[in-house]
Amino acid sequence: MTDSLATWLNQHFLDWERQEGKRRTITAFAQYLGVPQSSLSSWMSGAYMPSGESIQKIAEKLGYEIYDILGVQRPPLADERLAYIASIWDDLDEEARQKLLREAREMIVHKRNDPGAGGS
């Protein structure tokens, strides 16, 4: 399991470097993730696995599949789409929040009235 985590983290580091458009350090990647550099280095080498809050921080930046890789149950907001809405909620003004809620409610009402409509 540590090998697959190490591979996953190293691939995400390379992807992040490409997005940044230049070579970056593990220290900079750790700062981006919000975790200690020494811990990240240990996880990327396969020596240790993250736990608790570190997993959540990594998931928020790199994806919730880290829970699956580690064999850990995903938290309630592990649906990335829902987690995204939760992460931007405080950045929305009250009008935008109300609009988002109103549209969600309308979709549910429509789906209940026409079970064949919409879908996931």
- The answer to the question of residue 64 being in a domain is yes
Does this model's pTM top 0.85? My answer is no
- The answer to the question of residue 119 being in a domain is no
Domain with 96 in it: 80-113
- The answer to the question of residue 120 being in a domain is no
Query: Is residue 113 within a helix (H) or strand (E), and if so which, with residue range?
Result: helix 94-113
What's the number of domains the chain is made of?
2
- What pLDDT is recorded for position 116? 65
Average pLDDT taken over every residue of the chain: 87
Contact predicate 40/6, CB 8 Å: no
What tens digit of pLDDT does each residue of 41-95 get? 999 999 999 998 999 899 989 988 999 999 998 877 656 777 788 778 888 899 9
Contact predicate 28/35, CB 8 Å: no
Rounded to an integer, what distance in angstroms lies between the CA atom of residue 41 and that of residue 95? Answer: 43
- What pLDDT is recorded for position 55? 94
